[in-house]
Amino acid sequence: MENKILTAVFISGKGTNLKKLIQLSKTKKSPIKICLIISSNSKAEGLKYSIKYKIKKYVIKKNDKDSEIKILKKLEINKISFICLAGYMRILSKKFIKNFKGKIINIHPSLLPKYKGLNTHRRVLENNELYTGCTVHFVSRKLDSGKIILQKKIKIYKKDNIKKLNKRVLLEEHKIYPKAILKIFS
Q: What are the pLDDT tens digits along the chain (186 aa)?
A: 468 999 999 999 999 999 999 999 999 999 999 999 999 999 999 999 999 999 999 999 888 889 999 999 999 999 999 999 999 999 999 999 999 999 999 999 999 999 999 999 999 999 999 999 999 999 999 999 999 999 999 999 999 999 999 999 999 999 999 999 999 998
User: pLDDT tens digits, residue range 114-166?
Assistant: 999 999 999 999 999 999 999 999 999 999 999 999 999 999 999 999 999 99
CA atoms of 95 and 23, how far apart (whole Å): 31
Give the pLDDT of residue 63: 80
pTM of the model: 0.96
User: What pLDDT does residue 1 have?
Assistant: 45
Q: Which amino acid is at 170?
A: L
**Shortest CA distance to 150 belongs to which of 184, 119, 122, 124?**
184
Give the separation between CA 18 and CA 52, rounded to whole angstroms. Answer: 12
pLDDT at 83: 98
Question: Which positions are catalytic?
Answer: 108
Phi, psi of 148 (to 5 degrees): -75, 135
Strands 32-39 and 56-59: parallel
Q: What residues are paired with 11 via a beta bridge?
A: 39
Give the span between the Cα atoms of 90 and 81, in whole angstroms: 20
Which are the contacts of 81, defined by CB distance < 8 A and separation ≥ 6? 5, 6, 7, 103
The total number of residues written for the chain in this structure: 186
Type of residue at 184: I
